[in-house]
Structure 1
């Protein structure tokens, strides 16, 4: 399954209830809390059949575009 930017953005918006996050918007600046960000991990892992390592890459990927790129690397 190809991981698409719009799919990642949709998951972020659905879980966080923060509307209007653009591909290059910092999700934390947009209102996503660290607790919500952590809840994204299992959702992204399940949806895209990947395992997100605990090496800081997830927290460094602060935009939907960066998260998409990170997930593609894990495919």
Structure 2
């Protein structure tokens, strides 16, 4: 009898983005701000669905979007 050895590579998923803030929009939606695994920031609007990840994303960038977005919250995001 011959034993077979199978190598199993363990996959470790990267840490999830960390939620930092929720900025309300004038229409009742929210802009969620996250710190990503690489240290950058991203934002996602529950109204218009805009996802932003660029070097320009800052809390001020997210606040500006929250100020100008007039879309109601998306039913699945509430």
Max Rg structure = 2
Hey, which of these two has a bigger chunk of helix by percent?
A: 1
**Relative contact order, CA 8 A, sep 6+: which one is greater?**
1
User: Which of the two has greater strand per residue?
Assistant: 2
TM-score for the superposition, normalised by structure 2: 0.30
The TM-score with structure 1 as length reference comes to 0.31
